[in-house]
Amino acid sequence: MKQLLILSSLAVAATTALAAPEDAMNKAGCMACHAKDKKILGPAFKDVAAKYKGDKDAVTKLTEKVRKGGSGVWGPIPMPANGPEKINDADLKAAVEWVLKS
């Protein structure tokens, strides 16, 4: 019984950890313009991952891009800046890492 409770707790913790980047991105509004596998207003996460594959500075570059916003890389529609009041640094790093694994 004790083992079952421990395993259940671990399963819940793992599920929560896996969902955390997506939850933070939903709360920050990222998913209004982006999706994992299709372009909406912004690029699909799988396309971002492909573009930055093998780039050791990708996390830093994309984190700065999210913070400062910008346009021109994926077309003319600008991405607004997203400050720490929308998504904190830890959640942003986890989200960028998740996108790069898409």
In angstroms, the Cα distances linking 91 to 20, 35, 75, 77 are 8, 18, 26, 24
- Per-domain residue ranges for the chain? 20-100
Q: How far apart are CA 48 and CA 23, in angstroms?
A: 19
Q: Give the tens place of pLDDT for each residue, 31-45.
A: 999 999 999 999 999
pTM above 0.95, yes or no: no
CATH of 20-100, one of 1.10.760.10, 3.30.540.10, 3.40.50.300, 1.10.357.10: 1.10.760.10
Weakest mean pLDDT among 14-18, 36-40, 63-67? 14-18
Spatial contact of 25 and 87, defined as CB atoms under 8 Å apart: yes
Coil/strand/helix, residue 3:
helix
Question: What 8-state DSSP symbol labels residue 39?
Answer: B
Alpha helices for the chain (secondary structure H): 2-28, 45-51, 58-68, 89-100
